[in-house]
Chain A
Amino acid sequence: MCTGRVDPALVAKAFKKGIDGLMVVGCYFGDCHYITGNHQAKAKMDMTRKLFKFIGLNEDRLAFRQCSSGEASVFVELVSEFDQKILDIGPLGGDGDTVKAPEIFKKLEAAEAVLAGEKIRWIIGKRTPFLETGNMYGEVFTEHEFNRAIDMIIVEEMEVQEILARLKETARSVKDLANDLTIPPARVFRYISALKRKGMVALDTVAGQTPIFQIARQEV
């Protein structure tokens, strides 16, 4: 299978199941049968590493490396090097990661939802046209700009998916969500009103001074 087809959502799923490291090995740039498959793979893995760093997982647990099918010794070297690296980092959610188990598994669940979502998939797929021919308005992006757009989506989508995941468990107030997720309450408030506007979240009830929100019916 072409590394360009490795789905970041599957990567997150693998980590959620408890693996400690994952290496994607693709062809050298220029050797791709599909021309840009390995470039796409690198972009996808870079993005996934960024997301892992954001959620508090050591991003070195995920690696993208290159070698050709004839280079057995290089492959062996890559694998043993990565193996040692993972041994050094230690088990998932331990000392090697900023967020520990079991909290990290909740984060990975939301990360999987982010990576499986349309937004990230669509934008990462637009990388080549954005950098070469331009967007719908014919505006060509610099790599830096494209990465910034990805950063923005990672942060916002991650926070939104975490909010939605908590609301799926039970109805909550802005304050509760902010406490659980350590996101400033003012930000949660904005996300909630945006989700309400999209019809994804609705007011459940008002308990004393506290409005409680729930997931909208059609989203369940």
Chain B
Amino acid sequence: MIYEKENRYIIPFDDVPSPRAEMPEISVDERRGNFVEVETGFPENMSVQEAKRCLSCRRCLGCALCWAECEPEAIDFSIPDEELDLEFDDVIITKGQDNAFYPIDSKLGFGSYADVITDIQFERMLSPTGPTDGMVVSPLDGEIPKRMAIVQGNPDSEDDQILSSLILGVNESIIALDRTKELEVVLISPINQAFKEQFLSEAEQVSGLKMAGGAPDSVERKAEGKPLILHYTENSQQKDEPFDLIVILTKPRISSEIESLSRRLEKSVQ
């Protein structure tokens, strides 16, 4: 399943022709010594077939069925957008609710396996008002995991980034363990000095949580219906272990909109 914010959810349908049409070209021999157009263009049937591949992405269809069903008549398509011109003495820029993060190495399987999710998604899952009412389940099959791993997605990050994602990882583990019977969590990340001094002893006392200093290498599923295999390095030792759910600790970044705003106003993001 694709995780692409603000993109349309796509459903495959059989009669949609596939794959993309190739542009016909004249041969290389016909090209030497002249400037005849190389690409000869789609013929009609090919163009129509290609056009039919279009998914016609649209979210609200504007069908007004909701409006027809709404008893208190709260839905009103004619409520206009408002444009405001405002003046301020000061501006404070915060990162907002857009939880953007730096790209994750594709070897970790995020985006290809439904049971590999980000720490931000896991946080939504743990939230009492979230999509699973706070229950820890694998989005792959809806089952409650027995063994899950929380892994550092950007092990080469700066120290304070590692520290804050470690704290988040431990926090999420505490809540997940508290909610879930017979769960075992392995947290795999480089453990830095600051974390060792302040939090490591506390984290090691959480029952069910195992801290593994190291870095993840790759994630794979050997066969359909089998758990994910996580390959990782702990104390320069190569390990391969099965997990029912893998959570990746991401490296947060400021969304591009906020970033450009901050640049234009010469104000840093708080």
- Do the two chains touch directly in the complex (Cβ atoms below 8 Å apart)? yes
Complex A-B: 13 CB contacts under 8 Å: A123-B65, A135-B61, A135-B63, A144-B54, A149-B56, A151-B13, A156-B11, A173-B142, A174-B142, A185-B142, A190-B1, A209-B145, A209-B146
Query: Smallest distance from the beta carbon of B113 to chain A beta carbons, Å?
Result: 9
Number of interface residues of A (CB under 8 A): 40
Beta-carbon nearest neighbor of A122 in chain B: B65
Query: Smallest distance from the beta carbon of B79 to chain A beta carbons, Å?
Result: 12
Q: Which 5 A-B pairs have the closest CB atoms?
A: A174-B142, A135-B62, A136-B62, A145-B56, A185-B141
Q: Which of B39-47, B129-137, B170-178 contacts A (4 or more CB under 8 A)?
A: B129-137
Interface residues, chain A, with chain B CB atoms under 8 Å away: 50, 53-54, 118-119, 122-123, 126, 134-137, 139, 142, 144-145, 148-149, 151-152, 155-156, 173-175, 178, 185-186, 188-190, 192-193, 196-197, 203, 206, 209-211
Asked whether any CB of chain A lies closer than 8 Å to the CB of B88, the reply is: no
Q: Knowing that A148-B54, A190-B139 are A-B contacts, what are 14 other residue pairs whose CB atoms are under 8 Å apart, sorted by A's residue number?
A: A126-B63, A135-B62, A137-B77, A144-B56, A152-B11, A155-B13, A156-B11, A174-B141, A174-B143, A185-B140, A186-B141, A189-B139, A203-B133, A211-B144
Number of interface residues of B (CB under 8 A): 35
The residues in B between 108 and 137 inclusive whose CB is less than 8 angstroms from any CB of A are 114, 131-133, 135, 137
Is the beta-carbon distance between A211 and B52 smaller than 8 angstroms? no
Is the beta-carbon distance between A149 and B61 smaller than 8 angstroms? yes
When distances are taken between beta carbons in the complex, the residues of chain B under 8 Å from A210 are 142-144
Beta-carbon nearest neighbor of B12 in chain A: A155
Q: How far is the CA of A148 from the CA of B15 in the complex (A)?
A: 10
Q: How far is the CA of A175 from the CA of B138 in the complex (A)?
A: 11
Q: How far is the CA of A31 from the CA of B63 in the complex (A)?
A: 29
Interface residues, chain B, with chain A CB atoms under 8 Å away: 1, 11, 13-16, 51-52, 54-56, 58, 61-65, 67-69, 77, 114, 131-133, 135, 137, 139-146
When distances are taken between beta carbons in the complex, the residues of chain B under 8 Å from A139 are 62
When distances are taken between beta carbons in the complex, the residues of chain A under 8 Å from B144 are 206, 209-211
Is the beta-carbon distance between A54 and B14 smaller than 8 angstroms? yes
Given contacts A145-B56, A186-B1, A210-B144, contact A119 B65 (CB under 8 A): yes
